[in-house]
C-alpha cells in the first residue's frame, strides 16, 4: 500500500518508497546481464495488475507485485527491448525489428506478439537513440522505429532517412523529425506537411506541446520554432535549441547555449552560469533547476542567485532528468554518475 518510484540505470532497477528507502535489484544476478555495460534497462511501465514491466537488451522482464521477483519474458528471438509505451488498450515494446504488444492468451499467460513486421530497418547499435512512442488524446499509441511510424500496428509514415523524435501536439497532430529530410506533421493518418521551413527543419529536439502551440528546437535552422495549426508562427534564434520546459506558473522556457523565458513579444534572456543546458525543472517549492553538460544549479524563489550543486566525481556530470518524490526528495539522472 506504500507508493513508490522505480528507477533504472545500466543493469540495475531500484524501488524508492515514499519514506526514501531504496531497494536495488541487480539484473546481472537475476537474468545474467552482461556486466560490460551494454546490457541496459531502457524503459519501465506498470500493467493493470500492478506488475512492473522493464524493457532491456535481454528482453522484457516482469516484476510480480506479490513476490518481487523478476521473471524473464523473452521476445521470441528478438532479445532487445528499447522503450515501452502504454495506451488505452495495451503495452507496446520497441525492439530492433519493430514493436511488440503485450497480451495474455486463454490461459492468462503473457504473450508478446509482433505488432507489424518492419521491412525497412537499420541495425540499432549500443548507444544509438531509438525514438520513443507517444499516446494521442484518443488513447491510441503511435509507435516509431528508426524508419517507420505506426498507429497501433497500421503503417502511417515511412522514410529512407532516420527518425529522431516523435511528439503529439494539442490538435492531435503527430510530429516526426528526421536527420536529413526535415520535420513532418501527420494529421488524420496522413502527412499534412513536410519540410516545414524552406531553409531547414532537420534534426528536431526539445519538442514540447503548450497551450499556445508546439515548440520545436531545430538544430539546422538553428532556432526554436512555435507551430500553431501546423504552421510556423514564431521563431526564437538559438545556436543549440535543445530543451523546452514549463514552470508552475505556466511560463515556457527555452534552453541550449543560454536560457530565456518566452514573453508576448519575444524571449527574455536570463543570466545563467552554464552554456550547455539540457534540463529545465521547477519543483513543488518553486525552486528552479537547470542542468546540462557542465553540472546542476538551483535558484530559490526568494533568492535569484544561482547555486551550484555537486553531482558526482567526474569533471562533466551531464544532468539529463529530474523527478520529485512525495516527501520532497529530488532525484536527478545523469550520464556517467547515475542517479
Does the pLDDT at position 247 exceed 80? yes
Q: What percent of the chain has pLDDT over 90?
A: 9
Q: What is the pLDDT of residue 112?
A: 73
DSSP 200: B
**What pLDDT score was predicted for residue 88?**
82
Report the predicted TM-score, pTM, of the whole model to 2 decimal places: 0.63
* Pick from 243, 154, 230, 144: nearest CA to 192: 230
Average pLDDT over residues 83-104: 76
Of residues 170 and 263, the one with the higher pLDDT is 263
The DSSP call for residue 247 is -
Largest Cα–Cα separation, the chain: 61
Residue 125's pLDDT is 47
Q: Residue 323 — pLDDT band, cuts 50, 70, 90?
A: confident
Quick one: pLDDT band at residue 1, thresholds 50, 70, 90?
very low
Per-residue pLDDT reduced to its tens digit, 101-116: 877 666 666 677 777 6
DSSP calls for 55-99: EETTEEEEE-TTT--EEEE--SS---EEEEEE-SS-EEEEETTEE
SS3 42: strand
> How much is the pLDDT for 80?
62
Q: What is the pLDDT of residue 72?
A: 57
Partners of 185 in beta bridges: 175, 193
Cis peptide before 222 (omega within 30 of 0): yes
Does pLDDT of 157 surpass 60?
yes
Mean pLDDT of 332-337: 72
The enclosing H or E element of 28 equals helix 27-31
**Res. 77 pLDDT band, cuts 50 70 90:** very low
Mean pLDDT of 84-108: 75
Listed ranges 47-56, 65-74, 112-121, 134-143; the one with the highest mean pLDDT: 134-143
pLDDT of residue 267: 92
Closest listed residue to residue 175, CA positions, set 155, 152, 199, 201: 201
User: What does the pLDDT look like over 280-318, one tens digit per residue?
Assistant: 999 999 999 998 888 889 999 888 889 988 765 555 567
Burial of 68 (0-12, 13-18, 19+ CB in 10 A): exposed
CB 72 within 8 A of CB 88: no
* Res. 337: pLDDT tops 60: yes
For residue 79, the model assigns a pLDDT of 52
Q: Which of 79-88, 95-104, 168-177 shows the highest mean pLDDT? A: 168-177
**To 10 degrees, the CA torsion angle through 75, 78, 83, 88?**
-40
Q: Do residues 301 and 287 lie in contact, with contact meaning Cβ atoms separated by under 8 Å?
A: yes
Q: What is the dihedral of CA 262, 265, 266, 272, to 10 degrees?
A: -60
Q: What pairs with residue 188 in β-bridges? A: none
193, 185 Cβ separation under 8 angstroms: yes
Mean pLDDT on 86-98:
77
pLDDT value, residue 255: 92
The chain-wide mean pLDDT, for the chain, equals 76
Amino acid at each position: 500500500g506504500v507508493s513508490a518510484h522505480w528507477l533504472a540505470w545500466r543493469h540495475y532497477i531500484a524501488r524508492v518508497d515514499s519514506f526514501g528507502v531504496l531497494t536495488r535489484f541487480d539484473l546481472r544476478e537475476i537474468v545474467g546481464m552482461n556486466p560490460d555495460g551494454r546490457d541496459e534497462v531502457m524503459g519501465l511501465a506498470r500493467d493493470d495488475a500492478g506488475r512492473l514491466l522493464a524493457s532491456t537488451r535481454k528482453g522484457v522482464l516482469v516484476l510480480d507485485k506479490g513476490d518481487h521477483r523478476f521473471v524473464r519474458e523473452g521476445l521470441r528471438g528478438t532479445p532487445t527491448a528499447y522503450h515501452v509505451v502504454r495506451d488505452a488498450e495495451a503495452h507496446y515494446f520497441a525492439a530492433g525489428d519493430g514493436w511488440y504488444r503485450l497480451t495474455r492468451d486463454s490461459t492468462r499467460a503473457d504473450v508478446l506478439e509482433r505488432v507489424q513486421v518492419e521491412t525497412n530497418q537499420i541495425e540499432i547499435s549500443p548507444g544509438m537513440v531509438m525514438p520513443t512512442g507517444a499516446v494521442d488524446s484518443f488513447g491510441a499509441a503511435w509507435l516509431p522505429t528508426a524508419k517507420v511510424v505506426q498507429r497501433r500496428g497500421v503503417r502511417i509514415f515511412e522514410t529512407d532517412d532516420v527518425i529522431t523524435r516523435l511528439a503529439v501536439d494539442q490538435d492531435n497532430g503527430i510530429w516526426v523529425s528526421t536527420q536529413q529530410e526535415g520535420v513532418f506533421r501527420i494529421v488524420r493518418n496522413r502527412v499534412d506537411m513536410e519540410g516545414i521551413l524552406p531553409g531547414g527543419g532537420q534534426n528536431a529536439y526539445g519538442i514540447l506541446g503548450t497551450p499556445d502551440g508546439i515548440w520545436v528546437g531545430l538544430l539546422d535552422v538553428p532556432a526554436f520554432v512555435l507551430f500553431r495549426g501546423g504552421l510556423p508562427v514564431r521563431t526564437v534564434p538559438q545556436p543549440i535549441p535543445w530543451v523546452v520546459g514549463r514552470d508552475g506558473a505556466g511560463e515556457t522556457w527555452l534552453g541550449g547555449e543560454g536560457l530565456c523565458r518566452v514573453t508576448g513579444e519575444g524571449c527574455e534572456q536570463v543570466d545563467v552560469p552554464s552554456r550547455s543546458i539540457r534540463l529545465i525543472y521547477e519543483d513543488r517549492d518553486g525552486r528552479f533547476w537547470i542542468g546540462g553538460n557542465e553540472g546542476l544549479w538551483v535558484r530559490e524563489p526568494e533568492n535569484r542567485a544561482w547555486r551550484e550543486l555537486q553531482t558526482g566525481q567526474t569533471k562533466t556530470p551531464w544532468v539529463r532528468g529530474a523527478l520529485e518524490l512525495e516527501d520532497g526528495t529530488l532525484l536527478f539522472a545523469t550520464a556517467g554518475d547515475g542517479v
